[in-house]
Structure 1
Amino acid sequence: MKKRPIETILYSTAGVAAMAVLLIAFNFITGAFKERIDLTKERAYTLSAGTKAILGKLDTPVNVRFYCTQSESATPQTVFLKSYAKQVEDLLAEYKQVAGSKLTIEKFDPQPDSDAEDSARMDGIESQPLLPNGEPYYLGLAVSLLDQKQAIPFLAPNRERLLEYDISRAISRVITPEKPVVGIMSPLPIFGMPSNPMMMQMGQQGQEPWVLVNELKEDFNVKRVEMDTAKIDDDIKVLVAVHPREISEKAQYAIDQFVMRGGKLIAFLDPVPLIDSQKQQQFSIPNSGSTMDKLLKAWGISFDTSKVVADLNYKMEIGGRNGQPQEAPAFLSVSGGGINSNDVVTSEIDNIWLPFAGAFTGTPAAGLKETVLLKSTKDSQLVDGFMANLGGESVLKDFKPSGTEYALAIRLTGKFKTAFPNGQPEDKKDDKDADKKAADKPADKKADDSLKECKTDTSVILVGDADMIYDHFALRQIQTPFGNLAQPMNGNLNFAQNAIEQLSGDNNLISVRSRATQNHPFTVVKQMQAEAEERYQSGIKQLESNLAETERQLSELQQKKEKGQRFILSPEQQAAVANYREKEKTAKIELKQERKKLRHDIDSLETRIKWLNIAAVPFLVSVSGVGLAFLKRKRTGAK
């Protein structure tokens, strides 16, 4: 009797049942392994190394209570939030996967008048009136360790990029609950000025501390650091230097050693300090700029205090002479692409004012990584600070875009090397006395015990403007029945607070990246649109140039007219006007054609992409099926 071929056995009932058993067994065995593979381009489902390091330090179980309302409502808002809540759950599962038994996650559905709702309120979770029946909607979490607790009142989807950072920060804060110490060094009256007897006799009051200082005191222990200090206190975690004008080498050495010990530095430097010139006239010569020349040179960074950045795209209008508004290309309102949307410090900021900011150039020293937080556009130029302070007209007159995006604020991260390899510098103002004492003392010299290099990675943030954190450039005062109310005009103070908060936290938080959003736009389409719009803008500029030239010609003809010819246009003027109208008509037609070409190119590309997505997979499956059928028929024929 002829044996049945193997194909007959496989396709029999017993063969199908055997394959099903093998498949179930395979899933059961592989399910026991916890390894996962993240195939997304942005590694969206992989925790950062910083988060893993924070979780690795847990020695006592941390509890995470996740609150999410399970509603039957299907409004666009609730459907979107449910989808986002699933992303949060997936991320928390990754935390649990790494932390193991050191992290417990509880999920609550805070329905009205339930114990879960009472728990949510006690944890500081805020409800949102999103449900059609007016019932509250909860989406937040609380992290607790013993008697320490941190809450994220509402997990807003617009902070999706910062989701991992927010959760890791909450865990880090319950692990180390004490307030970090922040030191502030500045020659400016940033801590305010008390009233002296003379001021009191004249009916004048002292100066209040800057709003930034008062805000920082809510979350940090803030200490004053004198400009002539020889050592930064060991308990200071972050040092904020604001316009360190004429800083001595001794103070720079103190900062250098502070960084070598692992301290974090935020320096607000300034080429044209407006705050430092308040007692002067508006258009007078300002006081000298500020830098940290010795430190910056060792880090591979340059900061020219004689130059400021002027940018045609970020220029603002400010009060000029006689109170008339004037364009100020060096008074920057940075937005859009000028703000790093992928960094924790700047990702939630829309606009920053930088009056007369300097630029950071150069290549970071070996072992340091540079991240640009704020930058100009390519339509920018470095201009003389003195000329920029005289008014915008002098800058615009000879403005020539450099094609360079200048760095206005940067962060350096890595192992810094000392700027003082020979140890502590001598105090130059006492050189003569030092020489005299040296002649009387033995030749032995004290051993150099200064640090030469960081043992661990640390961070330094450099900002090219100090005026930005002054109340006048960050807040507006609003008169209310309850007194003056300070309202932010921009994201200046948020930028400063974010930077200080990030550097004052766990070192591992600095390496927690912003998570990629789940939105994948047509980047090629946007690039095509940007290129076409650039061509469109060049057409507008050409049209404006033609208009200006025609107006100049009309003005010249007007000056040449005879007496008594006030309202009647001469033949030359009529010809010029006709020529202008013809040019305008031609330019409008050309611009209209450009728009049509732009729309056609974008529509064609979108159509090709859509058809590729719709037809590609079915086409590949069909081709594969035909190919397999052909091979099978060929084998059957061979038998």
Structure 2
Amino acid sequence: MRKPHLTRSFLLRLSLAGVALLFLVVIGVSSLSLRTARVDLTADRIYTLTPGTEKIVDGLREPVTLTLYFSEHATRDLPQLRSYEQRVQEMLREMAVRAHGRIRFRVIDPVPYSDDEDAAQSYGLTPATGGSNGERVFFGLVGTGGQGEVPPQSIAFFDPAREAFVEYDIAKLLYELGMPKKPRLGIVSSLPVEGNLVIGEPAWAAVHQLDQLADVVSIDPQGLTRIDPSIKLLLLIHPKKLSDDALYAIDQYVLRGGRLAVFVDPDAEMDPAPLVDSHGVVDDHDSDLRRLFEAWGVVYDPAKVVLDRSQALTIELNGNTVAHPAMLGLGTQDLNHDDVVTASLQRVNVSTAGFFDLAPDTRARLLPLVQTSDDAMVVPAQRAREAAADPSSLLENYQPTHDRYVLAARLRDVFHTAFPERHEAGHLNVAAAPGDIVLVADTDMLSDRLWIDVQPLLGQQQLTPFANNGDFVANIVDNLGGSSELLSIRGRANLQRPFTKVRALQAAADRKFLAKKRELENELYETQRRLSELQPAKGNTAGAATAEQRREVEKYLQRKLAIGKELRDVQHQLNAEIDALGLRLKFIGIVLVPALVALGGLIYGWRRSRRGRRTV
């Protein structure tokens, strides 16, 4: 009996069928065994969860449901927002995978006039305008479930301005879902921040709003010798003349890992104490934590006030509009958008504020949150008080130092005690781990007058904020009052990758433009000076002076046109360089790389065909 002959073509088909079968088996096995495997190849590890987030996810004891509401149809013409949504969705899926079933994730498109749209609004999601055909755009997150009777938590809208903190915001929502009760917040203050029910004085709005974030406990600074360890965050507002026992209690609270936010002031305008009491004792309305600040490496002078004429607020005084250089409106350029506390704020107002710096021999880090412009200077606090009736007098002999003064900051260090000589039971000389303290050199910013407008409406008070002071305080409490894992979550890099070569070309052109601009301004100044010198001669030789003026003006106009042409030439050169770079990139990506791949394939095929002919 003759054996069947296996041809090369049959063996080739059999091999292909075997490879296909093996491929299907590998795909099936990997889909089951590698379902939770992830590889993050991005440069900034943007899809890798930080250890803080992993601890929060791992700490969930009960299942939670995360619902992402995103208007898919309404954003079809908004590619940037759709790209951001993909990143948010990938991060949520990564958390769901990490949770091993404790997080249920779903995505809903709340189309107009649907039950889903009503549900999104009922959870407090805020739609944005500007979608396709004028539709509203929902892009928020709702979390339900968790421990105890925790109400649903939500992120009203994923603001692209907070893209660097998207992981923090989501992790915070998960933390609050798994938290059975609000954290305790202790307030120590010598100002009437909590109002006075006896005389009908309401609490300051910035402090009253904290009731929604925490269980607020008022602590009397008189007789303070110990701080309850259950207090998650301590808020010191204008701590005046605290005893050593009170300072020691604060010192040990910080060393045991307690969170602290300090509001001091060189001139607290809301201080109700008389400047001179009945015994002739002078009260400058200032506050300080000198002994603690020295131990922490912080430099602060309670007798100095910062002025900034560039950021001066305009006030009404005696029927006149006056710029007040000690009352400052700090905008986005003065706020640290790399810190979660100030990342999304637009404006913070302060009044007669001080400033912080670091001692030269300290290892602590001072991370600015709010700074002045470089057009600021420092004056004695007494001068600021004396100028209350005429703020414009503060501008006399104004000499800016060209430094940016830190009005609020985050202090980070492994803190040491300011009382090494004390040896009470449980005394600590150094903290076990690094800690964060938020320092603010103004207390007036907490008062309603600097950030909120109160108007009566239907028998109720309508509060309309015109600055973000309240948000600033709430963010501090929100950040420091959370878990240590939340504090450890880093801000993410923005996904927008800059074209560094193009930016370098633009920067070079900008330098050229700046030089030309200065040249033009100098020539303009010189021409105006020359014209002013010719004016006195007008009475004697009006015709000659007028002719000379005409010649100067003509000369200036000709030079101005020449410089304008040079500016256009620089711009054209920049555009030509950028266009040439673009053409080179297109040539490499569209022509050169495919040509090299095709050439390599042709060479490989030619060599195989040659080997095949040789074997035959």
- Smaller-chain TM-score range? 0.7 to 0.9
Give 1:331 deviation, angstroms: 3.5
Q: Report what 2:279 is aligned to.
A: none
- TM (normalized to structure 1)? 0.76
Matches within 5 A, 1:202-213: 207-213=201-207
Give 1:518 deviation, angstroms: 2.9
SS at match of 1:149: coil
Deviations 1:477-536 (A, max 9, x none): 345565553321211111111111111122211122333333334466567667866886
Give the counterpart letter for 2:219 in structure 1: V
Matches within 5 A, 1:623-634: 623=596, 625-626=598-599
After superposition, the Cα gap between the structure-2 partners of 1:356 and 1:585, relative to the gap in structure 1 and judged at 3 Å, is farther
Asked if the contact 1:308/1:357 (under 8 Å) is kept, the reply is yes
Distance 1:74 1:506 in 2: 35
Which runs of 5 or more residues in structure 1 are unaligned? 1-7, 196-204, 424-445
Structure 1 residue 180 corresponds to structure 2 residue 157: no
SS at match of 1:148: coil
Structure 1 residue 304 corresponds to structure 2 residue 301: yes
- TM (normalized to structure 2)? 0.79
Matches within 5 A, 1:516-535: 516-522=493-499
Give the counterpart letter for 1:95 in structure 2: M
Asked if the contact 1:126/1:140 (under 8 Å) is kept, the reply is no
Q: Report what 1:460 is aligned to.
A: 437
Give the counterpart letter for 1:219 in structure 2: L
Give the counterpart letter for 2:328 in structure 1: L
Give the counterpart letter for 1:166 in structure 2: D
Distance 1:543 1:245 in 2: 55
Deviations 1:202-254 (A, max 9, x none): xxx55332111221123322222223322223332111112223334332222
SS at match of 1:611: helix
Matches within 5 A, 1:96-175: 96-108=96-108, 132=133, 139-145=140-146, 147-152=149-154, 154-158=156-160, 159-175=162-178
Deviations 1:281-318 (A, max 9, x none): 9xxx9925332222222222212334344446534444
Give the counterpart letter for 2:454 in structure 1: Q
After superposition, the Cα gap between the structure-2 partners of 1:17 and 1:119, relative to the gap in structure 1 and judged at 3 Å, is same
Asked if the contact 2:139/2:157 (under 8 Å) is kept, the reply is no
Deviations 1:77-109 (A, max 9, x none): 5x6655544333211111012111322224445
Which runs of 5 or more residues in structure 2 are unaligned? 1-7, 277-281
Distance 2:577 2:309 in 1: 32
Give 1:578 deviation, angstroms: 6.2
Give 1:552 deviation, angstroms: 8.8
Give the counterpart letter for 2:320 in structure 1: G
Give the counterpart letter for 1:614 in structure 2: K
Give 1:156 deviation, angstroms: 3.2
Distance 1:144 1:337 in 2: 40
Distance 1:481 1:598 in 2: 62
Give 1:259 deviation, angstroms: 0.9
SS at match of 2:568: helix
Asked if the contact 2:64/2:143 (under 8 Å) is kept, the reply is no
Structure 1 residue 65 corresponds to structure 2 residue 67: yes
Structure 1 residue 476 corresponds to structure 2 residue 440: no
Match of 2:49 among 21, 36, 47: 47
Distance 2:322 2:576 in 1: 45
Give the counterpart letter for 1:314 in structure 2: Q
Asked if the contact 2:314/2:322 (under 8 Å) is kept, the reply is yes
Asked if the contact 1:353/1:490 (under 8 Å) is kept, the reply is yes
Asked if the contact 2:68/2:139 (under 8 Å) is kept, the reply is no
Structure 1 residue 596 corresponds to structure 2 residue 568: yes
After superposition, the Cα gap between the structure-2 partners of 1:298 and 1:24, relative to the gap in structure 1 and judged at 3 Å, is farther
Give 1:448 deviation, angstroms: 5.2
Deviations 1:132-167 (A, max 9, x none): 597996753223125423232643343433332222
Distance 2:114 2:241 in 1: 63
Distance 2:555 2:291 in 1: 58
Give 1:582 deviation, angstroms: 6.8
After superposition, the Cα gap between the structure-2 partners of 1:400 and 1:119, relative to the gap in structure 1 and judged at 3 Å, is closer
Distance 2:575 2:264 in 1: 48
Deviations 1:453-498 (A, max 9, x none): 2234432101122221211111233455655533212111111111
Match of 1:238 among 215, 233, 239: 233
Distance 1:257 1:12 in 2: 79
Give 1:557 deviation, angstroms: 9.2
After superposition, the Cα gap between the structure-2 partners of 1:311 and 1:543, relative to the gap in structure 1 and judged at 3 Å, is farther
SS at match of 2:151: strand
Matches within 5 A, 1:79-98: 83-98=83-98
Distance 1:93 1:43 in 2: 16
Give the counterpart letter for 2:213 in structure 1: D
Structure 1 residue 190 corresponds to structure 2 residue 163: no
Give the counterpart letter for 2:595 in structure 1: S
Asked if the contact 2:537/2:545 (under 8 Å) is kept, the reply is no
Give 1:417 deviation, angstroms: 2.0
Q: Report what 1:607 is aligned to.
A: 579
Structure 1 residue 222 corresponds to structure 2 residue 199: no
Match of 2:311 among 283, 304, 314: 314
Match of 2:595 among 603, 622, 627: 622
After superposition, the Cα gap between the structure-2 partners of 1:507 and 1:626, relative to the gap in structure 1 and judged at 3 Å, is same
Distance 1:277 1:591 in 2: 61
Asked if the contact 2:71/2:139 (under 8 Å) is kept, the reply is yes
Deviations 1:309-329 (A, max 9, x none): 44465344445788342362x
After superposition, the Cα gap between the structure-2 partners of 1:155 and 1:357, relative to the gap in structure 1 and judged at 3 Å, is same
Give the counterpart letter for 2:92 in structure 1: L
Give 1:50 deviation, angstroms: 1.3
Give 1:345 deviation, angstroms: 1.0
Asked if the contact 1:303/1:359 (under 8 Å) is kept, the reply is yes
Matches within 5 A, 1:193-592: 193=196, 207-228=201-222, 229-276=224-271, 287-311=284-308, 313-318=310-315, 323-326=320-323, 328=325, 330-362=326-358, 368-387=364-383, 390=387, 391=391, 394-395=394-395, 397-402=397-402, 404-423=403-422, 449-478=426-455, 480=457, 482=459, 484-522=461-499, 581=553, 585=557, 589=561, 592=564
Asked if the contact 1:357/1:408 (under 8 Å) is kept, the reply is yes
After superposition, the Cα gap between the structure-2 partners of 1:375 and 1:476, relative to the gap in structure 1 and judged at 3 Å, is same
Computed over aligned residues only, the root mean square deviation of the Cα atoms, in angstroms, reads 4.5
Matches within 5 A, 1:2-17: none
Distance 2:503 2:392 in 1: 33
Q: Say which is worse superposed, 605-614 or 489-498, in terms of deviation.
A: 605-614
Asked if the contact 1:361/1:407 (under 8 Å) is kept, the reply is yes
Asked if the contact 1:51/1:508 (under 8 Å) is kept, the reply is yes
Q: Report what 1:431 is aligned to.
A: none
Distance 1:362 1:475 in 2: 33
SS at match of 1:476: strand
